[in-house]
Structure formats: C-alpha cells, structure tokens
Amino acid sequence: MLFTRRLILPAALGLVLALAPAVFAQRDTGTIVGTVTDPSGAVVPGVNVTIRNIDTNATFNTVTDGTGNYAAPLLKPGNYELTAELTGFKKESKSGIDLKVQDRLKVDFTLEVGNVSETVEVVGAAPKTQTETSSLGHVVDTRTITELPLNGRNFARLAAIVPGVIPAGSDDRTGTAGTLSLVVGGNFSANGVRSNGQNNYLLDGIDNNVNVIDFLNG
C-alpha cells in the first residue's frame, strides 16, 4: 500500500498526507460515521440521522443499519450539525462538528427515552483523534495562507510547515537537489516516504499535476 501525499486547493488550501490504494480514489471531501445506542448501551437501528452543513445549509439524510451504525460519505469540508431521531426517543442534536478534507470523524449518539418532540442539544467539537482511519492529514487554512510570507507565490512551500515533511533528496520535477527541492520545486518527503512519483496534486478534487509542474518550473 502506497503512502501518498496530496496537495488539495479548495478555498482553504488543504495539504493531506494519507494512506491510499490508488491516487485516483482521493477526493476533497470528508466522512462522518457513528453509532447510535440507547441508555443501556444497546444499538438502535432505524434511527434517522440528518447531517447539515451550517455554512451552506446543504443536508444529507441517512438511517442507522441493523448494528446501529450510520455513514455519511463525500461531505464537503465545513461546520456541521447532526441530528438523530426515532419515535420513542428524545431527538438529539450535536453541533460544532468541524469537518476538514479527508477527515473521517466518528460522532456517536446515545438517545434518551422520551417524546421525539423533546430535543437534547450537545455543543462541542468532534474528537480530534480519528479512530476510524489510519490516514494522516494537515489542512492549511485561509488565514495561514494570507498571513504567512510566500515568496515567489509557490504554494508548495506551505508543505514545510506540516509536521513530518522534509525536502526531498532530489527533485525529479525541477532537477533541484537538497534543501532547495522544497523551496524551488515543491518536491518533499512526508514521514520518511519517498517523494519520487508519490506526490500528487489535486485542484478541487481533479488531477492537476501537469499544470502544477509547469507552474513550479516557471
């Protein structure tokens, strides 16, 4: 399995380091999963789960399966509110869920017995430790891009602020070697993995390697 790095450029630039079986499977989206249980800890199937993007008001609806699990894939990065409801239980709402590129957040619910017209609201961020995936990622937000000096407009230099990223020993894109490979060509190694042929650039989820290489080479 290859350890592949992806540089994703939506409104906020996301630099993502992830384990992936193939480059073409990478997307500029995230996933929210979870399990719904009752106060005794038993799983609850058939629960309606609504995932709403606070920024765009776009919603995604799903239902828990026989094991009480639900999954909401291909969600755009943003701030989310989740609601779980089922007849015989109080409706539970959770907000403050910050989903970033390639996140796989686990948001569980414990429904209290009661009238569905009653709502239990929980405000707080999802756990930072992602137990649902082995991927490693880092997002460079708009404020960081705006406030950090970026000489030469080479966005690939932002990789240098990510933990575990170092300049590659040689740069197959520009022919630059040593520490200048990151500064000039944008070639880098993440967590000790070889950079040659394993750095892929996406623009809004679309393969953008040719244009990026031309840009970095001037």
Burial class (CB in 10 A: 0-12, 13-18, 19+), 175: exposed
Mean pLDDT of 163-181: 59
Instruction: Give residue 8's pLDDT.
Output: 45
Mean pLDDT of 110-119: 89
Name the DSSP class of 170: B
Instruction: Give residue 91's pLDDT.
Output: 95
Between these two residues, 214 and 72, which has the higher pLDDT value?
72
Span 30-123 CATH architecture: Sandwich (2.60)
The enclosing H or E element of 98 equals strand 91-99
Instruction: Give residue 183's pLDDT.
Output: 47
Mean pLDDT of 67-72: 97
Mean pLDDT of 130-152: 75
The reported pTM is 0.66
Instruction: Give residue 56's pLDDT.
Output: 95
Mean pLDDT of 194-213: 68
* 44, 111 Cβ separation under 8 angstroms: yes
Instruction: Give residue 139's pLDDT.
Output: 81
* 209, 9 Cβ separation under 8 angstroms: no
Residue 136 — very low, low, confident or very high, per pLDDT cuts 50/70/90?
A: confident
Residue 188 — very low, low, confident or very high, per pLDDT cuts 50/70/90?
A: confident
Mean pLDDT of 71-82: 95
Instruction: Give residue 211's pLDDT.
Output: 52
pLDDT above 80: residue 54: yes
Locate all alpha helices (DSSP H) within the chain, ordered by sequence: 142-147, 180, 209-216
Instruction: Give residue 154's pLDDT.
Output: 74
Q: Which of 74, 30, 27, 76 is nearest to 205 (CA)?
A: 27
Give residue limits of the domains in the chain.
3-20+135-216, 30-123
Q: 99 - beta bridge partners?
A: 78
pLDDT above 90: residue 43: yes
The string of pLDDT tens digits covering residues 5-33 is: 444 444 444 444 433 334 444 567 899 99
The string of pLDDT tens digits covering residues 118-132 is: 888 888 655 555 665
